[in-house]
Structure 1
Amino acid sequence: MGRETWGTRIGFILAAVGSAVGLGNIWRFPFQVGQEGGAAFMVMYLAFVLLIGFPAMLAEFVVGRKTGLNAVGAIREFAGGVWQYLGGLFVLIGFVILSYYSVIGGWVLRYVVGSATGGYVGDAAQGEPPVAAQFFAEIASGWDALLFHAIFMLLVVGIVAFGIQRGIEIGVKVMVPAIFVIFGVLSVYAFSLPGAGEAYAYYLSPNFEYIVANWQSLVPAAAGQGFFTLSLGMGVMITYASYLGSDENLAIDGTSIVVLNTSVSVLTGLIVFPILFTAGLDPETSGPGALFISVADALGSLPFGRVVGTLFFATVAIAALSSAISLIEVVVSYAIDEFGMDRARATVIVGAGIFLLGVPVTVDTVFVDLYDMLAAQILLVLGGILLMVAITWLHADEAVEELREGIGDLGAVGTLWIWMVRIPVVAVLIVSLYLGVTGYLEFLQGPFADFLASR
């Protein structure tokens, strides 16, 4: 049987956008903005996406489409030699990310139920405060977290087992438009809130002195966020591009994906920060619990909060699913191509393994940071550096030739793209990797060591 392909071009674009749009945009993005200076982080993030993320995405597209193989096979055929092991790193990254991503996805499913039932909202008529922190503590670890981790993984496995056209493509054609429609409505609602003006000033008016003073934390945060939200450095875009025909214009497709993905991040901020400021909550101290505690607390005190909360968390759940199916597809594609497994069997086996790796995350939320910092700030960036070097320093001619397919004569643009990736992209990623490693070591010696000592 021949390799599967996308049924339509829009199916590929929506699948890639669905991969990019997920918890990285909606869960990770707001607390990164809060922790890294509000609009200062926005400036760094947008610059990274445009100048680093887009050229890097084209590089992954080139490898995937030229070879028509999974991440491991694609790099083995494109670069050969020792570089073939880079594909294995991508498979590992997807495996690790989805293991904790699935647990967080389970939290989101639980919050959809909690929004509809008022589970995290105190009885305002009786003078009770919101109970989001207590609700989160109850569902973030233990049997509840394990159960919803399993439910989320079953949903992901069920969609991917049906294949590219009947499973992934049909799913994203429903899920991705739904994200934009619901978030568009919610952003209008947020605009009407009394704290919107203060929130927009915090979110959209950068303090450049802050950027200069805090670049050491901003650079790795923006790099990790950019690669995470664009699904780069983990083999997703290589895998998805491997199902493309040679007549596709990779530059137009890449532009569409970057613009649509970044729009969701921006929309998320336009929704989340007015809600937080209206409720008098500080986004800088919300941390990773911003989505599940701070936003939930705020919704409990706002008009139509329960309805808005249900819509919001349902949209987050849709986005989480659309990204999760792309992460598991990297590993499933590898199992199908390299070991000759049928899709259903490969998906079940891979899903079970990912579920087991995620079990520690259901024990304590400190494992979210342990997995996330390792994957997003170290492994993703390392994979990106190695791939960019392999493509643009060792196989530049083949890369430009493949990019030309579906576009035509590139002129000087092809050379500009190669040098953009060779120098600025690789240099920024190397600095980001160094800062990411030092930050992770500090975490291991601090919060994680404290957790182990308390056991």
Structure 2
Amino acid sequence: MSSVRGEFSSRFGFIMAAAGSAVGLGNIWGFPTQTASNGGAAFVLVYLVLAFCLAYPALMAELVIGRHGQANAVSSLKKIAPNQPKAAFVVGFGGIICAGLILSFYAIVAGWMLSATLSPIAEISQLSATATWLNTQSLGRDLIFTAIFIMMTIAIISKGVENGIEKWSKRLMPALLGILAALIAYVLTQDGAEAGLKAYLVPDFSQILNPDLLVSALGQAFFSLSLGTSVMIIYGSYISKQENLVSLGAYVTLIDVLIAFVAGLLIIPAMYVAQEQGVQIFSETGALLSEDTLVFQVLPALFNSMGDIGYLVALAFFALMSIAALTSSISMLEAPVSYTVENFGMNRLQATWIIGGLISIISFVIVFNFSTLFGFVISLTTQFGQPLIGMLCCIFVGWMWSRHKLLTEIQMGYGDVEHSVFWKIWPWYIKFVCPIAIALVFFNSL
């Protein structure tokens, strides 16, 4: 690989970066909310099945495309299907557009996290007017903190692969895990936590085949693993040819699923603790109230009930959310930046600021038209764009790439793969099962 493109310097660095991309607000904000909205433990069970049966094989397809191509998503897809340049462009560039649109709404939510992180500091400093402003959704607050978050993302991506993405992922991911563990230990000691654990861990099997639940679980699995956005194709292109892709993909999937599950151990019991203290969580019909803003309405009420210690718990929790958002946003910005650098000859710093500026403009448009565009962009990208593009990547690997060349690529880091259980199952699975299963869930969502 050319040193100009950059490369992850270690196996640990890639796992932390890829897991950082996968582990974000989708796990800690989205997954618990989806769980609470879709049957609790039944959703968790379906999510776990789909993560390993559909998301992991699709993740492997994207990683192997990237490492073989050693380039951005469009160029990598063209290398495995040279006779289908238009199709390769549509799929690769579609993923890049999807990543940019996700970052545009993601930056808004991450901005809420940043303002919520500063709020307890303002309270402790007795700046009550500032704290109220930080806690109240407004045009000014949302524009300011969205811009701050995007600039933080730009600052990391402009440093490149090893000194930017890898360096900060190694720092942020362990910090995220430490804060998460401490918060879970605290919440599980509170009244009401036991009821939350029961709702989270004991499934109602009658809900498992609910079409809405299936669509939500598949979308969540793809969203949390950053599939269908060209992100994992790009990260795959930065992996050394000597690395074992099969185990790397498995590690990333396991870490992603584990943190989503562990995040649920925090949020779902916390909801029931808040309910025990008089906060209304569900409507009279049993529907979850305030889905998109759950953590900003329910959890602050819980933190306020804790007295002075609540300020520190709130600070730790929203700092955790901000870290999770940043580890994912850097991968989403990398997808369009790498394409711009390699296709237009720009230097990385210039490309990062231009792409970051364009995404900022889209974010600001969403903020100005929040009620119309925010939910629409989320649905467009996570429920439709990502599964569709992920399915097309599976088709590229399964139908347009010769089995021999595919085996040769994987053998570079796993010489005995031909005799493994993975190789006996994955090639035909990615060719038939994944596209059909994803298509069925996708068309059902239409």
Could you tell me the TM-score, scaled by structure 1's length? 0.89
Distance in 2, Cα, partners of 1:162 & 1:12: 16
Distance in 2, Cα, partners of 1:252 & 1:17: 13
Seen in structure 2, the aligned counterparts of structure 1 residues 151 and 4 have a Cα distance that, compared at 3 Å, is same
- The corresponding residue for 1:117 is 122
Larger displacement relative to structure 2 (260-269 or 174-183): 260-269
Distance in 2, Cα, partners of 1:196 & 1:396: 53
Q: How does 1:252-263 map to 2 (within 5 A)?
A: 252-263=247-258
Q: How does 1:154-173 map to 2 (within 5 A)?
A: 154-173=151-170
- The corresponding residue for 1:431 is 440
Seen in structure 2, the aligned counterparts of structure 1 residues 207 and 285 have a Cα distance that, compared at 3 Å, is same
Distance in 2, Cα, partners of 1:115 & 1:25: 24
8 Å contact kept, 2:80–2:400:
no
Q: How does 1:262-411 map to 2 (within 5 A)?
A: 262-280=257-275, 281-282=280-281, 284-302=288-306, 304-363=309-368, 364-397=370-403, 398-410=405-417, 411=419
Q: In the TM superposition, what is the alpha-carbon distance from 1:366 to its structure 2 partner?
A: 4.3
Distance in 2, Cα, partners of 1:389 & 1:97: 23
Alignment match of 1:182 (pick from 179, 182, 186) = 179
CA offset digits 1:285-319 (Å, max 9, x no partner): 24111111122222222352221111010011011
Distance in 1, Cα, partners of 2:402 & 2:47: 27
Distance in 1, Cα, partners of 2:422 & 2:270: 43
Alignment match of 1:144 (pick from 141, 144, 157) = 141
1:279 match: secondary structure: helix
Seen in structure 2, the aligned counterparts of structure 1 residues 396 and 221 have a Cα distance that, compared at 3 Å, is farther
- The corresponding residue for 1:12 is 14
Q: In the TM superposition, what is the alpha-carbon distance from 1:40 to its structure 2 partner?
A: 0.9
8 Å contact kept, 1:361–1:368:
yes
Larger displacement relative to structure 2 (357-366 or 347-356): 357-366
- The corresponding residue for 1:441 is none
Q: In the TM superposition, what is the alpha-carbon distance from 1:401 to its structure 2 partner?
A: 2.5
Distance in 1, Cα, partners of 2:30 & 2:371: 14
Read off the aligned partner of 1:227 and give its amino acid letter: F
CA offset digits 1:31-56 (Å, max 9, x no partner): 11111111111011111111111111
Seen in structure 2, the aligned counterparts of structure 1 residues 400 and 296 have a Cα distance that, compared at 3 Å, is farther
Q: 4+ residue stretches of structure 1 with deviation over 6 A? A: none
CA offset digits 1:1-37 (Å, max 9, x no partner): 6321112121111100010011111111121111111
8 Å contact kept, 1:103–1:145:
yes
8 Å contact kept, 1:6–1:165:
yes
Larger displacement relative to structure 2 (23-32 or 424-433): 424-433
8 Å contact kept, 1:190–1:270:
no
Read off the aligned partner of 1:404 and give its amino acid letter: Q
8 Å contact kept, 1:236–1:327:
yes
Distance in 2, Cα, partners of 1:26 & 1:368: 19
Read off the aligned partner of 2:169 and give its amino acid letter: V
1:288 match: secondary structure: coil
Read off the aligned partner of 2:152 and give its amino acid letter: L
Q: In the TM superposition, what is the alpha-carbon distance from 1:260 to its structure 2 partner?
A: 1.2
8 Å contact kept, 2:134–2:141:
no
- The corresponding residue for 2:104 is 99
Distance in 2, Cα, partners of 1:379 & 1:250: 25
Q: In the TM superposition, what is the alpha-carbon distance from 1:361 to its structure 2 partner?
A: 2.4
Count of residue pairs brought into register by the alignment:
423
Distance in 1, Cα, partners of 2:238 & 2:36: 38
Matched, 1:223 2:218: yes
Structure 2, unpaired ranges of 5+: 283-287
CA offset digits 1:175-224 (Å, max 9, x no partner): 00111111111111111111111001001111001223xx2101110111
- The corresponding residue for 1:44 is 46
Read off the aligned partner of 2:248 and give its amino acid letter: D
Distance in 1, Cα, partners of 2:268 & 2:215: 23
Distance in 2, Cα, partners of 1:396 & 1:208: 41
Structure 1, unpaired ranges of 5+: 124-130, 439-455
Q: In the TM superposition, what is the alpha-carbon distance from 1:340 to its structure 2 partner?
A: 1.0
Larger displacement relative to structure 2 (102-111 or 296-305): 296-305
Q: In the TM superposition, what is the alpha-carbon distance from 1:356 to its structure 2 partner?
A: 0.4
Distance in 1, Cα, partners of 2:383 & 2:154: 27
2:430 match: secondary structure: helix
Read off the aligned partner of 2:110 and give its amino acid letter: G
Could you tell me the TM-score, scaled by structure 2's length? 0.91
Larger displacement relative to structure 2 (248-257 or 402-411): 402-411
CA offset digits 1:404-438 (Å, max 9, x no partner): 221122225314101222232212211222133x3
- The corresponding residue for 2:285 is none
Distance in 2, Cα, partners of 1:143 & 1:229: 29
Seen in structure 2, the aligned counterparts of structure 1 residues 373 and 65 have a Cα distance that, compared at 3 Å, is same
Distance in 1, Cα, partners of 2:306 & 2:438: 42
Distance in 2, Cα, partners of 1:166 & 1:432: 40
Distance in 2, Cα, partners of 1:414 & 1:404: 10
1:302 match: secondary structure: coil
1:69 match: secondary structure: coil
Alignment match of 1:68 (pick from 63, 67, 70) = 70
Q: In the TM superposition, what is the alpha-carbon distance from 1:362 to its structure 2 partner?
A: 1.5
8 Å contact kept, 1:34–1:286:
no
Distance in 2, Cα, partners of 1:60 & 1:176: 23
2:415 match: secondary structure: coil
Seen in structure 2, the aligned counterparts of structure 1 residues 202 and 286 have a Cα distance that, compared at 3 Å, is farther
Read off the aligned partner of 2:251 and give its amino acid letter: S
Q: In the TM superposition, what is the alpha-carbon distance from 1:90 to its structure 2 partner?
A: 0.9
Read off the aligned partner of 2:317 and give its amino acid letter: F
Distance in 1, Cα, partners of 2:407 & 2:294: 43
8 Å contact kept, 1:57–1:237:
yes
2:356 match: secondary structure: helix
- The corresponding residue for 1:32 is 34
Distance in 1, Cα, partners of 2:428 & 2:306: 51
Distance in 1, Cα, partners of 2:29 & 2:354: 28
Q: In the TM superposition, what is the alpha-carbon distance from 1:349 to its structure 2 partner?
A: 0.3
